[in-house]
Structure 1
Amino acid sequence: MLNLMRRDIILQKKQLMIFIPYILFFILMDSPAILTFLVASIFIPFNAYAYDEKAATNILLNSLPYTRTEIIASRYLGAILYMVVAIGVTCLALFVFGKMFTWADVAIAVGLFLVFASLTFPLFQILKPGYISTVILMSFILVAIILQRMFGYLSEYVTAISEFMDRFSVPTLYTGAAVVVLAVYAVSWCVTTVIYQRKAF
């Protein structure tokens, strides 16, 4: 399974050359740290899906000595691994350029990435080849619009929300959010595995 994750990195050597400029663009544009961490996390795993779409890699993967469960597991575990590396590189870049960020920014970006991946990974197994790149772009835009409207709606209830959250300690809030996000990710993993196992290539 580790070889499957290495494969994604090897196949993306050329795309990875633009990873740093890609991150620097958001940093130099003074984008919010959360957004910078989020787009950095998305880069490698979603590029891997886009590459597989063009090369019809699933036929090759299913001819190798890996089960379909292992193939999907490599996607989900790989996404977490690439996210950690991308966030580490982004933290270093932000530090070098003197841009401020907090661990709360990192935590929120991680949560948003895992939720975004949870919603889109199953779709990649349902949609026909040729639509994945479009879905990535449209899904990201849709999530951004939904979050913007949701925050706008919730701003009317800031006082009530603050009073409710003040009942809990910060560690409790972060732990609760982490449990919910990981549960969503796990459900998505299971759903994607079931879909992939039933696909015909």
Structure 2
Amino acid sequence: MLNLILKDILIQKNTLIIYIATILLYLLVNVSPVFIVFVYSVVFILNAFSSDEKDNANILLNSLPYTRKEIVSSKYIGALIFTGLFICYTYLANYLLNGTVVLILWKEILLNMGLVMIAISFILPISYKFKTKYLTIICIALVGMYMVVINYFVPNFNDRLRTLVQNFMTVQELQLYLFATIITVLLFISSWLLSIRIYERKAF
């Protein structure tokens, strides 16, 4: 399974240079590290997934000595590993560029991991059931809904969202974090099992 995860990294080895450079640019203009980690982790995972859809790559994958459960599991485990790597790089770069204290609050790590896990929990089953091109259509529709909301219904939506994140970072009750972590992990595991079930039923 480790080789499957390494494959996803090697496929994007040239793109990684662009990731590294643009992350530095975003940090220089003070974009939130939480936002950077979330976007780049999801994009990296989606690019790795879409590469398996090209040129009958799934047929090749299924001819290798890996079970379908291992192929799916490599995506979910890889998602956690990639997110962890983006967290390390982003916060270290932020410290070197902006002098921000290198110590990362455990709340920020939890928030980063949680956001990516929630996103992946919805993205991967949809991608396995259909294809990533349909996911693009869904994303465009969501962006359209977002624009309608902030322009006509909740003009200060971005401010409310920012306040919500700040409130999350300042909450002191460990029970709340524990509850949120349990819910996120259960969602992630449920998505993982669902994706395995979908992939095992597909014919290539």
- The CA RMSD measured in Å over matched residues stands at 3.3
For 1:179 and 1:75, locate their aligned partners in 2 and report how far apart those are by CA, in whole Å.
21
Question: Which string of whole-angstrom CA distances, capped at 9 and with x for unpartnered residues, describes residues 24-60 of structure 1?
Answer: 2321232223211212322422220122223331111
Q: Which amino acid aligns with 2:119?
A: F
Question: How does the TM-score come out when normalised to structure 1?
Answer: 0.80
For 1:144 and 1:111, locate their aligned partners in 2 and report how far apart those are by CA, in whole Å.
21
For 1:92 and 1:27, locate their aligned partners in 2 and report how far apart those are by CA, in whole Å.
11
Identity value in percent: 32
Q: Of 175, 178, 183, which aligns to 1:180?
A: 183
Q: Of 192, 195, 199, which aligns to 1:196?
A: 199
**Greater Cα offset, 114-123 or 17-26:** 17-26
> Does the Cα contact within 8 Å between 1:50 and 1:132 map onto a contact in 2?
no
For 1:96 and 1:52, locate their aligned partners in 2 and report how far apart those are by CA, in whole Å.
36
For 2:138 and 2:94, locate their aligned partners in 1 and report how far apart those are by CA, in whole Å.
26
Alignment of 1:55 with 2:55, yes or no, is yes
For 2:134 and 2:25, locate their aligned partners in 1 and report how far apart those are by CA, in whole Å.
24
- Deviation of 1:100 after TM superposition, in Å, equals 4.2
Question: Which string of whole-angstrom CA distances, capped at 9 and with x for unpartnered residues, describes residues 110-134 of structure 1?
Answer: 21111000000001112246x1672
For 1:10 and 1:49, locate their aligned partners in 2 and report how far apart those are by CA, in whole Å.
13
- Deviation of 1:135 after TM superposition, in Å, equals 5.1
Alignment of structure 1 residues 75-94 onto 2, 5 Å: 75-94=75-94
Give the aligned partner of residue 19 of structure 1: 19
Give the aligned partner of residue 120 of structure 1: 123
For 2:31 and 2:145, locate their aligned partners in 1 and report how far apart those are by CA, in whole Å.
17
> Does the Cα contact within 8 Å between 2:28 and 2:98 map onto a contact in 1?
no
Secondary structure in 1 aligned to 2:63?
coil
For 2:128 and 2:46, locate their aligned partners in 1 and report how far apart those are by CA, in whole Å.
13
For 1:187 and 1:59, locate their aligned partners in 2 and report how far apart those are by CA, in whole Å.
26
Q: Which runs of 5+ in 2 are unaligned?
A: none
- Deviation of 1:152 after TM superposition, in Å, equals 4.2
Alignment of 1:134 with 2:154, yes or no, is no
- Distance change (3 Å), C-alpha of 1:86 and 1:15: same
Q: Of 167, 170, 174, which aligns to 1:171?
A: 174
Question: How does the TM-score come out when normalised to structure 2?
Answer: 0.79
Question: Which string of whole-angstrom CA distances, capped at 9 and with x for unpartnered residues, describes residues 120-161 of structure 1?
Answer: 0001112246x167258548847977x986x949x6xx9xxx
Secondary structure in 2 aligned to 1:30?
coil
Give the aligned partner of residue 69 of structure 1: 69
